[in-house]
Amino acid sequence: MNITVTGQHVEVTPAIRDYVVDKLERVKRHFDSPIDVSVILTVEKLNQHVEANVHVNGRDLFVEATDADMYAAIDALVHTLDRQIIRHKEKQNDQRNGQPIKHLASD
């Protein structure tokens, strides 16, 4: 897995970089092949903003999270990203098995 961590208006310390990489290991367990992840950390007044672009098997996923604490924003980002990746994998498996895709709005 290729992880790029950059900061805008914030210095990316080794502690923050290690925290991001450690949390993204949770995402890695869903895929056998390597994936590309680009994480951008931003400070805007009192808000810590984190966004990630993830390239997986022919699709790009974008996730963002904002919190007063950088670590809490990273946690929220990884949680949302994990849900999106699981949903993406379920759709892929349904399409491969010839099953119709379920729409969440029709439930």
pLDDT per residue as tens digits for the range 33-84: 767 899 999 998 889 999 999 888 778 889 999 999 999 999 999 999 989 8
pTM over 0.85: no
Residues with Cβ within 8 Å of 70's Cβ and at least 6 positions away in sequence, in order, are 10, 16, 41, 48, 50
CA atoms within 13 A on the CB side of 22: 8
Tell me what pLDDT residue 32 has: 66
The pLDDT, as a whole number, for residue 34 is 65
pLDDT exceeds cutoff 60 at 107: no
pLDDT at 8 over 80: yes
> What burial class does residue 95 get, using C-beta atoms within 10 Å of its C-beta: 0-12 exposed, 13-18 middle, 19+ buried?
exposed
CB contact set of 76 (below 8 Å; sequence gap of 6+): 50, 65, 67
pLDDT digits (tens, 9 = 90+) for 87-104: 888 887 776 666 555 555
Tell me what pLDDT residue 96 has.
63
The structural architecture, per CATH, of the domain 2-99 is 2-Layer Sandwich (3.30)
